[in-house]
């Protein structure tokens, strides 16, 4: 049973590749897995793949990093101070449902065609999940922990650092995971229209080349693989002792 559970993901991938190969065989346009693998080797040999991957990761790192620096403090303030929550929550809930893709024309207008536009879009797409999850996490910190800490003389930043932030951390990490996934989606879309490098640009440029759909699908595969790796990294944060202690009685 353990062997089957471990082999399950590989069997599903193998089945997916088999169906893909069968469906693409004989098609004059859609590439087979073998053709996509050949295209990936071509991109690696030319150095194109590394350059585009590095460009996309650079933009995600900056935009997502800015979202972390702003989203967690704002969410903490909204979760702890009712007045700040009442003041900021309407604008957060107004802007949050707007698709980041809808901001692309304004981003180009404000920042031009360059790195600043996708970085702004990545920041905008990932900051709201961080704000909402941090706010919810602070709201849900048990009052008995807060009262006990206050009885020991903790207040202000000390109370936040020792009690509130650790208590809210599971929700914050959930928001970080969701925000990073959205950021990775948005950078690809932004690079298709607002930049001349990155994996999004690789896909749109390959499509414009006419018959290079093997490079298009190769770019899609790389996007999926990197997104999967990023999600694994974020999930590792959930195993930290600072997070798991809150679930010690239920897991």
Secondary structure (DSSP) of 13-72: HHHHHHHHHHHHTT-SSSPPHHHHHHHHHHHHHHTHHHHHHHHHHHHHHHHHHHHHHHHH
54 and 43 in contact (C-beta within 8 Å)? no
Whether the pLDDT of residue 158 is over 90: the answer is no
Q: How far apart are CA 193 and CA 195, in angstroms?
A: 6
- Tell me which residue of 92, 63, 90, 73 sits closest to 179, measured CA to CA: 63
**Could you tell me the pTM of the whole model?**
0.84
* Residue corresponding to tokens 């770019």: 219
Whether the pLDDT of residue 251 is over 60: the answer is no
Q: What pLDDT does 244 receive?
A: 60
Domain boundaries, the chain: 34-140+169-245
Average pLDDT for residues 111-135, to the nearest whole number? 91
69 pLDDT tier (thresholds 50, 70, 90): very high
Q: What pLDDT does 65 receive?
A: 95
> 24-46: b or e for each residue (b if 16 or more CB lie within 10 Å)?
beeeeeebbeebbeebbeebeee
- Tell me which residue of 220, 217, 213, 210 sits closest to 189, measured CA to CA: 220
Q: What is the pLDDT of residues 180-230, one digit of tens each?
A: 999 998 988 888 876 788 898 888 888 887 778 888 899 999 999 999 999
CATH architecture entry for 34-140+169-245:
Orthogonal Bundle (1.10)
* Residue corresponding to tokens 């460009």: 55
- Tell me which residue of 160, 138, 215, 173 sits closest to 68, measured CA to CA: 173
Average pLDDT for residues 126-131, to the nearest whole number? 94
Query: For the chain, what percent of residues have pLDDT higher than 70?
Result: 93
Whether the pLDDT of residue 233 is over 80: the answer is yes
Q: What is the pLDDT of residues 4-45, one digit of tens each?
A: 667 777 788 888 888 888 888 877 788 888 889 999 998 899
250 pLDDT tier (thresholds 50, 70, 90): very low
Whether the pLDDT of residue 240 is over 80: the answer is no
Q: What is the pLDDT of residues 80-93, one digit of tens each?
A: 899 999 999 999 99
Other CB atoms within a 10 A radius of the CB of residue 233 amount to 11
* Residue corresponding to tokens 């069968």: 22
- Tell me which residue of 223, 235, 238 sits closest to 57, measured CA to CA: 223
Average pLDDT for residues 133-142, to the nearest whole number? 89
Average pLDDT for residues 71-87, to the nearest whole number? 93
Q: Exposed, middle or buried: residue 62 (CB in 10 Å: 0-12, 13-18, 19+)?
A: middle
Cα angle for residues 50, 55, 60 (degrees, 5° grid)? 125
């Amino acid at each position: 049973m353990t062997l089957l559970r471990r082999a399950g993901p590989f069997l599903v991938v193998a089945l997916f590749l088999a169906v893909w190969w069968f469906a693409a065989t004989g098609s004059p346009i859609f590439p087979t897995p073998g053709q996509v693998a050949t295209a990936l080797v071509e991109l690696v040999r030319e150095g194109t793949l590394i350059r585009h991957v590095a460009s996309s990761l650079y933009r995600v790192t900056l935009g997502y990093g800015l979202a972390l620096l702003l989203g967690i403090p704002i969410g903490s303030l909204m979760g702890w101070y009712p007045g700040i929550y009442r003041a900021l929550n309407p604008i957060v809930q107004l802007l949050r449902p707007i698709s980041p893709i809808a901001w692309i024309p304004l981003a180009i207008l404000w920042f031009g065609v360059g790195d600043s536009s996708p970085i702004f879009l990545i920041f905008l797409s990932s900051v709201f999940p961080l704000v909402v999850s941090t706010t919810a996490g602070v709201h849900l910190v048990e009052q008995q922990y807060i009262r006990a800490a206050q009885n020991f003389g903790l207040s202000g930043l000390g109370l936040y650092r020792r009690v509130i932030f650790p208590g809210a951390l599971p929700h914050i990490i959930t928001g970080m995971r969701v925000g990073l996934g959205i950021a990775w989606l948005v950078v690809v879309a932004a690079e298709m229209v607002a930049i001349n490098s990155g994996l999004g640009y690789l896909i749109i440029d390959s499509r414009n080349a006419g018959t290079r759909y093997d490079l298009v699908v190769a770019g899609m595969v790389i996007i999926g693989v990197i997104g999967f790796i990023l999600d694994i990294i974020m999930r590792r944060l959930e195993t930290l002792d600072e997070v798991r202690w809150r679930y010690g009685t239920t897991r």
